[in-house]
Structure 1
Amino acid sequence: MLIVPEREIANLMTREAAFEAVEKVFASMAAGKAKNFPVVREAIGHAEALYGFKSGFDKATLDLGLKSGGYWPGNAAKGLTNHQSTIFLFEADTGKCRAIVGGNLLTALRTAAAAAVSVAHLARQDAKVLGIVGAGHQAAFQLRAVARQRKFERVVAWNRSAEKLDSLAKVAEELGLPFESVSLDDLAARSDVIVTITSSFKPLLMSDGVRPGTHIACMGTDTKGKQEVDVALVARARLFTDEVAQSISIGECQHAIAAGTVAEADIRELGAVVNGTDAGRVSNDYITLFDGTGVGLQDLAVASSVVKLAIENGVAIDVDF
């Protein structure tokens, strides 16, 4: 069995590799070759932690496994990351554990890669202004991954605490992009692509201000009750997701489904666009919305990729297990 420690991930996994792995697994899902298993997610009644498992199997790559982890809100005070994850990969032919991989950075990279894949396949080719809603830990990963997908000329961003945008401003500077802190209304009015990455339980982005032709990647809603955009905007958009079952139950579309303004049949798999079986953006006037709920197969794909890189670079630890 191989072990790839968390400390090795940053030197192995690139944004390009994460993009490729996530794009391929989206395609496998849409082609019916890959399946996510039911998610387990529970409050454990200790340390205010939320803990769970995401798992699945991709027949195309034979990636079988699970991600175990969750959210410990007190970790920051201990010098640890609040989100803690470990990915376990198993041999599809035997069930033997083939690798244990640190999952903290990989989770951030695969989440950003999912948004980037949506922008690559759904945003207008002439998109110039990138809007970011939220300035938490994940926001910088989103900016770095998404900025590569179009020839953006400017980044505008909003966060409830504006001072936290300083870290995003530094990333934009690294990318050579002018950066501006703006109101939500200004962000909606000026952006061609919008990434929302918050933990909000009420809508932040409203339909009235969003221009025709905008692409929105909603990346923060992954739990029942969370909401980043209003139901009118969801109903107005051409909808895509990583997995429809999660989109309607824990994703951004859950509220529009409950309100009856969107039907399950209105939501398409992004992988179908990757495969070419769905046209994706069929007009520059359409609003497209990607509901990125996060699925276990994404974790397995990036973990499998990093195991290969670890072997090539001689940093995978081989143990008798």
Structure 2
Amino acid sequence: MAGTSAKRLKQEMPMPLLLTNDDIAPLLDPLAVINILDQTYSAFALGTGVTAPRLDLQASKNNAGEAYQLGIAAGLSGRYGALRIKSDMTYRREVAGRPRKEKYCVEPGTYCGLILLFSLENGELLAILHDGLIQKMRVGADSALGARYLAREDAAVLGILGAGGMARTHIDTITMIRPIEQVRIYSPTEANREALAVYGRARGLDTKAVESPEAAFDGADIISACTNAVGPVIHGPHLAPGMHITSIGGTLDTHASARVDVALRLGNATAPTEMPDWRFEEECMSFVPDVGKSEAGGTRRFADVPLSRLIMLRELLNAPKRGRCTPEQITFSERGNIHGVQFAGVAGLIYERALAQGLGTPMGSETFLQNIRN
């Protein structure tokens, strides 16, 4: 964190800042994001910070089979509070015979996601950030952080299912914390997997686009599911001893979940004061007006590993030997539903870097303050 220097720069600059994806791009250092999330999650695990679970509010489907969804994540961490809002039209389409989740705002190809960053010192709105690039990097950093804690130290082969922006940031982040030499990419869309292979080779990695999921698993030390597929994409028979698994899109089937020896969850949402024994572990809490959530909404759970094999980050920090014990173990990691502190940590980092480099568009606090008590 920039600390005192950030405070001094803030006093010299009108607030809040508007930070677009163009402003954010040069500020997103993969290792810095991994490290700030490590700090943020560790502090949260030890009792510092507050986060609600992600909330999805979904309207009934329209005549085109699309459902409007308002996604909300909020949390407090360190000196910052963050509110992330996302406005999507969600729907499904078929790709290579499998259902895929899709979304847009206004029209296909455009999206609306914003992070509001607040000061915990005086409540001031400090910044409004586009969430596009942050979204991809934060998710890649989560997987890298799980690999930092559980993947074998000598992990050298990364297998990826999917070839979009999330898959790209998995290359950017996981290569920061393990000596990855080879990357194997499968996507049902040949052009996408070939394009990502070019991206990997440009970074000095032996990267190949492969023609089946099985080929991506073959010889992999770390396997990352980064698809928008609905349902299982990681199957038990494809796993091999020593693998580490991450999944941010698509799920583990029952056999794969059963083969996991150690699973790490980085955190669970804070229990409400009125319900101290409340425990909610699914990825998001959904509110719908009718029979159920659209199939194109957020994934509720990526794996169903037996509780006896699950360890929370808090427990791992207190007893590191409860993590990977042998090179042969199959391990799995997931963030859990602590999106709020995640956004506070990453948005705070980006905000401080923007101040230090003079990036962003000042908007003036008077635009966002009123003299009528609300």
Quick check: TM above 0.5?
Answer: yes
**Is 2:32 the counterpart of 1:3?**
no
Aligned position for 1:38: 53
Aligned position for 1:224: none
Distance change >3 Å, CA 91–CA 133, structure 1 → 2: same
Aligned position for 1:223: none
**Is 2:259 the counterpart of 1:236?**
yes
Distance change >3 Å, CA 25–CA 150, structure 1 → 2: same
How far is the alpha carbon of 1:103 from its aligned partner?
1.7
Distance change >3 Å, CA 229–CA 144, structure 1 → 2: same
CA distance in structure 2 between the partners assigned to 1:31 and 1:150 by the alignment: 26
CA distance in structure 2 between the partners assigned to 1:218 and 1:302 by the alignment: 20
Deviations 1:198-240 (A, max 9, x none): 12222122112211110011112xxxxxx42212211221111
Q: Using structure 1 for the length normalisation, give the TM-score.
A: 0.85
The residue identity in structure 1 corresponding to 2:133 is: L
CA distance in structure 2 between the partners assigned to 1:185 and 1:104 by the alignment: 30
**Larger displacement relative to structure 2 (96-105 or 299-308):** 96-105
Aligned position for 1:152: 180
The residue identity in structure 2 corresponding to 1:13 is: L
The residue identity in structure 2 corresponding to 1:152 is: I
Contact 1:128–1:151, Cα closer than 8 Å, also in 2: yes
Query: How does 1:56-95 map onto structure 2 within 5 Å?
Result: 56-58=75-77, 61-72=78-89, 73-75=103-105, 79-80=109-110, 82=111, 84-95=112-123
Aligned position for 2:357: 313
How far is the alpha carbon of 1:270 from its aligned partner?
3.7
More helix by share: 1
**Larger displacement relative to structure 2 (4-13 or 95-104):** 95-104
How far is the alpha carbon of 1:190 from its aligned partner?
1.3
CA distance in structure 2 between the partners assigned to 1:123 and 1:213 by the alignment: 8
- The secondary structure found in structure 2 opposite 1:148 is helix
Contact 1:198–1:228, Cα closer than 8 Å, also in 2: no
CA distance in structure 1 between the partners assigned to 2:140 and 2:18 by the alignment: 21
How far is the alpha carbon of 1:76 from its aligned partner?
9.2
The residue identity in structure 2 corresponding to 1:300 is: A
Aligned position for 2:92: none
Aligned position for 2:306: 262
CA distance in structure 2 between the partners assigned to 1:184 and 1:38 by the alignment: 32
Contact 2:251–2:301, Cα closer than 8 Å, also in 1: no
Name the % identity.
22
How far is the alpha carbon of 1:242 from its aligned partner?
2.9
Deviations 1:58-110 (A, max 9, x none): 2xx13222111143424595652x4x321112222433323222222111111
**Is 2:287 the counterpart of 1:246?**
no
Aligned position for 1:207: 236
**Is 2:30 the counterpart of 1:15?**
yes
The answer for unaligned runs of 5 or more in structure 2 is 1-14, 90-102, 269-279, 285-299, 367-374
The residue identity in structure 2 corresponding to 1:243 is: G
- The secondary structure found in structure 1 opposite 2:169 is helix
How far is the alpha carbon of 1:272 from its aligned partner?
4.8
Contact 1:118–1:270, Cα closer than 8 Å, also in 2: no
The answer for unaligned runs of 5 or more in structure 1 is 221-226
How far is the alpha carbon of 1:148 from its aligned partner?
2.2
CA distance in structure 2 between the partners assigned to 1:243 and 1:171 by the alignment: 32
The residue identity in structure 1 corresponding to 2:82 is: G
CA distance in structure 2 between the partners assigned to 1:271 and 1:11 by the alignment: 33
How far is the alpha carbon of 1:136 from its aligned partner?
2.2
> Which protein has greater RCO, CA pairs closer than 8 Å, 6+ apart?
2
Aligned position for 2:215: 186
CA distance in structure 2 between the partners assigned to 1:143 and 1:193 by the alignment: 11
- The secondary structure found in structure 1 opposite 2:341 is helix
Structure with higher Rg: it is: 2
CA distance in structure 2 between the partners assigned to 1:71 and 1:212 by the alignment: 40
Number of equivalent positions: 303
Aligned position for 1:107: 135
The residue identity in structure 2 corresponding to 1:189 is: D
